[in-house]
């Protein structure tokens, strides 16, 4: 059976490998396999974003609710340039506006993902604001360095290492010239 979580996780992993230029260093036949898998994942995950959007509009009578799954899906998709259909464009635009409005209410990991989603979609001022906020709320210790404590999503299975990794990814990508 298909799994939204596993598919999104695989897509995010391929996105990170692509950003590190690993996929370009594969043999051509291996690149083709990765491309085939990635395209299937993009189709599946983008459909999940559209499904959530349509559910809000039709079943939920336009009443928005935050979904960490949709944020994770948009985050995984944000690594890739692909041909968007009109339904996905409308859904993405809707969710980007909502995420831009709601990020302050969310946990550190979600905020870092949202900063990267916004940055990769041209919303640089909002992304900078989130990164600035994350830096201001970081704990600093002589022995531990900079870290974020005590703010995780109850429903998330993310480890503190994963949370810190996505925050550091946001810092590096959004402000590449800062330490």
How far, in Å, CA of 160 to CA of 71, rounded?
A: 18
By three-state DSSP, how is residue 141 classified? strand
Q: Which whole number is the average pLDDT over 81-92?
A: 93
10 Å CB burial of residue 163 (0-12, 13-18, 19+) is buried
pLDDT at 79: 97
How far, in Å, CA of 53 to CA of 60, rounded?
A: 10
pLDDT at 9 over 90: yes
How far, in Å, CA of 87 to CA of 175, rounded?
A: 32
Angle at alpha carbon of residue 81, lines to 74 and 13, rounded to 5°? 55
Q: Which whole number is the average pLDDT over 142-170?
A: 79
pLDDT at 152 over 70: no
How far, in Å, CA of 115 to CA of 99, rounded?
A: 9
Tell me which of 178 and 9 has the higher pLDDT: 9
pLDDT at 153: 52
pLDDT at 87 over 90: yes
pLDDT at 90: 96
Write out pLDDT tens, residues 114-127: 999 999 999 999 99
Mutual angle of helices 86-102 and 108-120, in 10-degree steps: 130
pLDDT at 158: 61
Q: Which whole number is the average pLDDT over 38-56?
A: 96
pTM above 0.75, yes or no: yes
- When pLDDT is cut at 50, 70 and 90, the band that residue 179 belongs to is low
CA 7 to chain centre: 14
How far, in Å, CA of 174 to CA of 117, rounded?
A: 11
Find all residues with CB under 8 Å of 114, minimum gap 6, and list them: 71, 99, 100, 103, 106, 130
Residue that the structure tokens 């391929």 belong to: 14
pLDDT at 151 over 70: no
Q: Residue 132 — φ and ψ, nearest 5°?
A: -60, -45
How far, in Å, CA of 149 to CA of 140, rounded?
A: 10
- When pLDDT is cut at 50, 70 and 90, the band that residue 46 belongs to is very high
- When pLDDT is cut at 50, 70 and 90, the band that residue 51 belongs to is very high
User: Average pLDDT, whole number, for the chain?
Assistant: 92
By three-state DSSP, how is residue 130 classified? helix
């Amino acid at each position: 059976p298909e799994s939204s979580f596993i598919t999104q996780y695989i897509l995010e992993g391929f996105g990170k490998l692509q950003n590190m230029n690993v996929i370009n260093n594969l043999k051509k036949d291996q690149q083709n396999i990765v491309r085939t898998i990635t395209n299937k994942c993009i189709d599946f995950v983008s459909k999940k974003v559209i499904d959530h959007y349509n559910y809000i509009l039709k079943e939920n009578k336009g009443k928005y609710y935050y979904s960490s799954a949709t944020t994770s899906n948009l985050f995984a998709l944000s690594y890739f340039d692909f041909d968007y259909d009109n339904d996905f464009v409308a859904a993405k635009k809707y969710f980007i506006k909502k995420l831009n409005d709601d990020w302050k209410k969310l946990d550190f990991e979600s905020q870092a993902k949202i900063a990267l989603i916004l940055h990769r979609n041209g919303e640089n001022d909002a992304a900078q604001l989130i990164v600035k906020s994350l830096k201001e709320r970081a704990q600093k210790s002589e022995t531990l360095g900079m870290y974020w404590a005590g703010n995780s999503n109850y429903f998330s299975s993310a480890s503190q290492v994963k949370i810190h990794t996505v925050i550091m990814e946001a810092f590096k990508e959004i402000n590449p010239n800062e330490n």
